[in-house]
Structure 1
Amino acid sequence: MTVATSLIPGLDDIVKRGDPRRRGEIARAISALFFQDAANLRPDLVDLFDNLLIDLVPHAELTARADLAERFSYLDNAPPHLVNQLARENEITVAGPVLRRSPVLDDSALVEIARLKGQGHLLAMTERPTLSSLITDVLIERGDRDVVRRAAGNAGAVFSPGSYSELIKRAAQDGVLTLRIGQRSDLSGEHLKELLNGTLDVIRRRLSSVVNPARQVEIKRAMAAIEEAARPPGPRRDYSAAQRTVLALHREGHLGESALLGFAKAHKYEESIASLSAMSGIRLSILDRLIAGDRYDPILVLGRMLNLGWPTVRALVLMWYGPNRTPADGDLEQARSNFTRLMPTTAERVVNFWRNRQTI
C-alpha cells in the first residue's frame, strides 16, 4: 500500500482484492479528476495522482488500460511513473500510444524499452515526432524491415554515421527503404552516392521522380561521379572535335550508315562513337563506357536497333579490336551469327534500358 492509497478509505482493499472491472472504474474516476484540470496541477498533485494510479491501472482490464494510455499520451505533465509503466506493458494496445507520442518518456527509458521489447514496440517508437540518434541506433540495430523503413521515413529522426551506413547497406536489398532514405533532408552527398551505387537503375529512376528539384540535381551529380569512377583507368578520349564533325554532318543531312561505315573503316573511334550516340540517342559518356568494355556485344545491339547492315557492324567490330589486333575468322563468324540471331525487339529493350540510365 502506498501513502496515496491509504488516504482514501477502502481504496487499498480495492487494489488488493477488487476485481479488474472495479479497479478499472476507480482508475477511470481518479483519472477523470486529473484530466479536469491537468494543465494547472502542481507537481506535488501530479505525484499524488501518480501514486494512486500506479497501484490501480496495472490490475485494470485491458480496455481500461488502453484507454488511459491513449489519453495520458498527449499530456506534458502526465504521471511519469504510470506512463513509464504503461510503456513497458507487453500489450502493444497499451504501450503503443505512449511510445508513439508521450513527451514524458525520456531517451533513457525509450532506449531501455527498445532493447528489451519486441518489434511492435519498436514500430510504435518510429512514429514519435523526434528520435535522437541514441534511440535510432537501437531501432536500426534490432528493427525488422518495417521498423527500419518507418524510422528512415521519419523526418524528425536523427541518425549517427554508423546507423546511416547500416541504413544504406540494408537499402541495397530494399527499394522502399532506398526511396525513404533518398528523400531525407539530412542525406549527405557522400551518403547519396553510396546509396545510388548499390541501387538498381529502376529504383534510381523512381527516386529521381519523387524527390525535389534540388535533390534531382544532386542525384545527377552523384551518378556522374559514379560513372566516372567506373570508367577504366587510362587517358580519357576527347570527343569535342568528333562531335563538331558529327553535328555538321547532321545539319547537312549526311549523318547515316554510310558516314558511320566510313569512320569505322578508317578506325576513327571518336567519330564512330559520336555518330552512334547521335543516331541512337544514348549519351556519349554512357556509350563510350559501354563500347570500351571487354566485349563488343553493345555494337551488335546498336547495329540491330539501328537496322545497320552486317558490313557496317563488321567494320565497327574490327574498329573495336583496334588497328593492331586482327580477330580470327571464327570470331568474326561468331559475331555475325550472334548479330543475325539478335531480335530487333530485344535490341530495342536493351537500348531503352541504356537510355533510361541517363534520365536521372
Structure 2
Amino acid sequence: MSIAAEAIRLEALARSRAPEDREHLLDALVDLCANADPAELTGAPQIQALLQAVFMSLVAEAERDIRRRLAEKIAPVAWAPAGLVNVLALDEIEIAGPVIAESPVLKDHDLIRLLVESTLEHQIAVARRGSLSATVVEAILQQDEPAVLTALACNDTAEISQSGMVRLVETARRQAALRSPLARHPRLSSDLAQRLYVWVGQSLRAALISRFRLDPMELDAALASAVRDAHAAVEGGEIRLDTDAEQLEQERRLIGKLAEAGQLRPGYLLRALRERRLPLFVFALATLGKFEVDHIQRAIDSDRPELLALACAAVGIDRSVFPAILDTVRELNGGHPGGGDEGARKAANAFGPYAPDIAGAAFRQTASSF
C-alpha cells in the first residue's frame, strides 16, 4: 500500500467512532511506531508529546478489550509514551498486568506510586516484576503487606538485600505463606536457613538441611528449646502484646484491602483455615457478612456451633462445606465452638430453606444477646 493510500485509510479510521475502527487505528499506529527508528521516537520530546496526545485521546474512548490488547502490544516497547503506560498501569488488573510486568518505561517512582495508590492485585504484580531494584523492594518491605511480601519472596530476580531477607524471614514466623518461597530463595543464607528451620514443616526442613548441609541434631535441639520456651511463656502467663497486636492488625488490614478491591469472597474463608490463620478467618467472615468482629469471636468461643453456621450461611457458604469449616475452627480454637456431634447436627439446620439475609439477621440478633 502506498503512503498516500495508507494516509487516506488512517484518516478514515480517525473520523470513525465505531469501536472496531478505533481498534484498527490503534493497531496501525502501534505498527507505524514499531517500524520506525527507536532512537527517533524516544529521543525527540516533541514526537513523544505528539504520540502521547494521539494515543491518550484514543484510549480515553476505547473499550476494555481494546485497552487490554493495546497494553499487551506496548508492554515490551521502549518507545511507548510514559503517560500512556502509567494510565494503563492503573487500569483494571487484566489490562495493567502486562504493562506492570515488563514495560521498560515504568521507572522506580512509577512502581512505588502503584504500591501506594493501586489495588492489592496491582501491588502483587509490582512485587512479581522482574529485576526489581533495591529501592522498590524497600518500599514493599516498608508496606509490610503479607500477600505482597509473599509475591516478593517468590521473585528470585528482585534485588533483596541481606537485611531485607532478614525481615522476610522474621515475618515468616507469623506468615506461613512466606516460608516455602523463602526456603528455596537463592539469597537465603545458612544463618537465615537455621532461623527459618524452626517455623517450617518437615519437608521444607529436609530441603534446608540438604541445601545448606545443616546439622539436623543441632537444629532439632534448637527447635525443642523454642517449643519449651513457648510453653513456658504460656504457663507463666507471659503476654506478648506487641507481636500479637501487630499480627492482628496486619490480618485486619489485609482483609480490608481485599474487600476494598472487590477480591474478598466466601472461598477466602476456606483458604484462611487451610493456612491455619484463625484470626484471618474471623476478620474475613465479619467483613463478608458485615458483622461485628466481636460477635464472630463470641460465636466461635461458644458451645453453640449453630451460630457459626448462621454466619457462614449468611455469606453464601454451602451446607456441604460447613462440616470441614467447623472441624478446622474447633481444631484451631481449643475445641470450640463446642456442642460435640449434637451441636454439629444443630448447626446443619442453620442452612435451612431461607435466604442468606434471614440467616444474617438471626445471627446478629442471637450474637448480640449473649
Q: Which amino acid aligns with 1:137?
A: E
Residue 33 of structure 1 is matched in structure 2 by: 32
Q: Which amino acid aligns with 2:204?
A: L
Matched, 1:103 2:99: no
Residue 150 of structure 2 is matched in structure 1 by: 149
2 CA distance for matches of 1:78 and 1:136? 25
2 CA distance for matches of 1:179 and 1:54? 43
Matched, 1:177 2:186: no
Larger Rg: 1
Secondary structure (helix, strand or coil) at the match of 2:128 reads coil
Taking a change above 3 Å as real, the CA distance of residues 53 and 65 of structure 1, as seen in their structure-2 partners, is same
Q: Shift of residue 28 of structure 1?
A: 2.5
Within a 5 Å distance, the mapping from 1:65-80 to structure 2 comes to 65-80=67-82
Secondary structure (helix, strand or coil) at the match of 1:49 reads helix
Residues 28 and 64 of structure 1 are in contact (CA less than 8 Å); yes or no, is this contact kept in structure 2?
no
Offset from partner CA, 1:268-325 (integer Å, 9 cap, x none) = xxxxxxxxxxxxxxxxxxxxxxxxxxxxxxxxxxxxxxxxxxxxxxxxxxxxxxxxxx
Matched, 1:63 2:65: yes
Residues 100 and 126 of structure 1 are in contact (CA less than 8 Å); yes or no, is this contact kept in structure 2?
no
Taking a change above 3 Å as real, the CA distance of residues 23 and 151 of structure 1, as seen in their structure-2 partners, is same
Taking a change above 3 Å as real, the CA distance of residues 38 and 144 of structure 1, as seen in their structure-2 partners, is farther
Residues 208 and 214 of structure 2 are in contact (CA less than 8 Å); yes or no, is this contact kept in structure 1?
no
Selected match of 1:223 from 210, 219, 225: 219
Q: Shift of residue 48 of structure 1?
A: 3.5
Q: Shift of residue 38 of structure 1?
A: 6.0
Residue 53 of structure 1 is matched in structure 2 by: 55
1 CA distance for matches of 2:216 and 2:38? 52
Residues 34 and 49 of structure 1 are in contact (CA less than 8 Å); yes or no, is this contact kept in structure 2?
no
Residues 182 and 192 of structure 1 are in contact (CA less than 8 Å); yes or no, is this contact kept in structure 2?
yes
TM-score, normalised to structure 2, is 0.49
Taking a change above 3 Å as real, the CA distance of residues 102 and 60 of structure 1, as seen in their structure-2 partners, is same
Q: Shift of residue 135 of structure 1?
A: 1.8
Residue 113 of structure 2 is matched in structure 1 by: 112
Within a 5 Å distance, the mapping from 1:1-360 to structure 2 comes to 18=17, 22-37=21-36, 39=38, 41-42=40-41, 43-44=43-44, 45-89=47-91, 91-142=92-143, 144-160=145-161, 163-197=164-198, 199-200=199-200, 203=201, 205-210=202-207, 213=210, 215-218=211-214, 220=216, 223=219, 226=222
2 CA distance for matches of 1:40 and 1:168? 44
Taking a change above 3 Å as real, the CA distance of residues 30 and 149 of structure 1, as seen in their structure-2 partners, is same
Question: How many residues are matched?
Answer: 218
2 CA distance for matches of 1:107 and 1:27? 28
Taking a change above 3 Å as real, the CA distance of residues 30 and 175 of structure 1, as seen in their structure-2 partners, is same
Taking a change above 3 Å as real, the CA distance of residues 123 and 65 of structure 1, as seen in their structure-2 partners, is same
1 CA distance for matches of 2:145 and 2:60? 29
TM-score, normalised to structure 1, is 0.51
Residues 89 and 99 of structure 2 are in contact (CA less than 8 Å); yes or no, is this contact kept in structure 1?
yes
1 CA distance for matches of 2:22 and 2:227? 72
Offset from partner CA, 1:71-92 (integer Å, 9 cap, x none) = 1111133222211221122x11
Taking a change above 3 Å as real, the CA distance of residues 114 and 19 of structure 1, as seen in their structure-2 partners, is farther
Q: Shift of residue 49 of structure 1?
A: 2.4
Q: Which amino acid aligns with 1:92?
A: I
Residues 126 and 154 of structure 1 are in contact (CA less than 8 Å); yes or no, is this contact kept in structure 2?
yes
Taking a change above 3 Å as real, the CA distance of residues 225 and 158 of structure 1, as seen in their structure-2 partners, is farther
Taking a change above 3 Å as real, the CA distance of residues 113 and 22 of structure 1, as seen in their structure-2 partners, is same
CA RMSD of aligned residues (A): 3.8
Q: Which amino acid aligns with 2:26?
A: A
1 CA distance for matches of 2:129 and 2:219? 34
Offset from partner CA, 1:55-99 (integer Å, 9 cap, x none) = 21232111111111111111133222211221122x111111110
Taking a change above 3 Å as real, the CA distance of residues 76 and 113 of structure 1, as seen in their structure-2 partners, is same
Identity of aligned residues (%): 24
Residues 183 and 208 of structure 2 are in contact (CA less than 8 Å); yes or no, is this contact kept in structure 1?
yes
Structure 1 gap segments, 5+ residues each: 1-6, 233-360
Q: Shift of residue 128 of structure 1?
A: 1.4
Structure 2 gap segments, 5+ residues each: 1-6, 229-370
Secondary structure (helix, strand or coil) at the match of 1:126 reads helix
